Amino acid sequence: MKLVLHSYTFRRYPLRHVFAVAARHGWDGVELVHFHFDPARVETEVAAAAALGRHYGVEVYCVGYTGDFVGDDPAARAASLALAERTIAAAAEQGIALVNGWSGTLERDPDDWRVNGSALAGPVHYERAAEGYRRLGEYAARHGVRVGVEVYPGSVHDTVSGTAKLLAMVDHPAVVATADPGNAYVVSPADRDPAVLDQLAGRLGYFHLKNLRPDGGRADFNVDTADGVLDNYAWITRADSLGVPAICVEYCGDGDPHPPIARAGDYVRDCLALRDDLARRHASAEAAEAAGELSSTGTAALAGAAGSGR
């Protein structure tokens, strides 16, 4: 499984800085978001970013897109889909096999994520999103690229269940889910349990990791990955068990992002190492228990055998 650094973490820094930090801390790749490239010039911008990453020895693992596939304006939907297709083609040209984003937002109150997105969506919004992703799935498949649908506040897929519903409507193997528990925690109580990821089994293509503390109807992201309300050991190991190929870590809080993101990389590696160590210890203990039971059974049989005198 690859460990990816989300460039949003360093949104106040140039892209060169992102790659240098990723190289310093041994990250496998970077997710490139629009803070670090101009979507209107996506072809040249992604090519330049990929070339810069090669100089630092760090790949662009994923390119971000933003969409408006669900709004009422058909011209805006068409323009948004056309730009997403250009992003897919630009990624493919550089050998980048994943783009990630969301289908647009429906918003009633920006300070209360619980009343936006899926809470406002009707069948027409899901159908528009599904229609858009069917088109993008077909286009991406021809280019050897997958399209990530991120669990994102304000979107029709702002929960795991909403994302699973949308993917079932799309029904295309090139369209996969990007789980993000930090985005969904305040939206849905069901999204506080890592077992919810099982709804995405076979379709979990990417995973965003951060942590939070609830702040009314919003999330406060001014916490380290190992802090906050999410048990990220449970989320990381659950996602890994479902075969997710990469975990992308982001720090969305204020202040200096360097210390929390450095600790985050070590934390993810430690979680996976702990999982493996515990599995070995469980296997060893279970083998010892089985051997002990066999030994006890044999001793009991011998004690009760005819002619034993006892």
Q: Is 231 helix (H, G, I), strand (E, B) or coil?
A: coil
CB-neighbour burial class of residue 29 (10 A; exposed 0-12, middle 13-18, buried 19+):
buried
The Cα 151–Cα 5 span in angstroms is 18
Domain borders along the chain are: 2-303
Indicate the pLDDT class of residue 297, thresholds 50, 70 and 90: low
| Residues forming beta bridges with residue 163, ordered by sequence position | none
pLDDT score, position 309 = 42
pLDDT score, position 292 = 85
Handedness of CA 116, 121, 125, 129 (dihedral sign): positive
**Following CA atoms 188, 131, 247, 11 in sequence, which dihedral angle do they give, to the nearest 10 degrees?**
-90
Look at the domain 2-303 and name its fold. TIM Barrel (3.20.20)
pLDDT score, position 67 = 86
Q: What is the largest CA-CA distance in the chain?
A: 95
pLDDT exceeds cutoff 50 at 298:
yes
pLDDT score, position 308 = 41
pLDDT exceeds cutoff 60 at 57:
yes
The Cα 169–Cα 177 span in angstroms is 13
H-run or E-run covering 150: strand 146-150
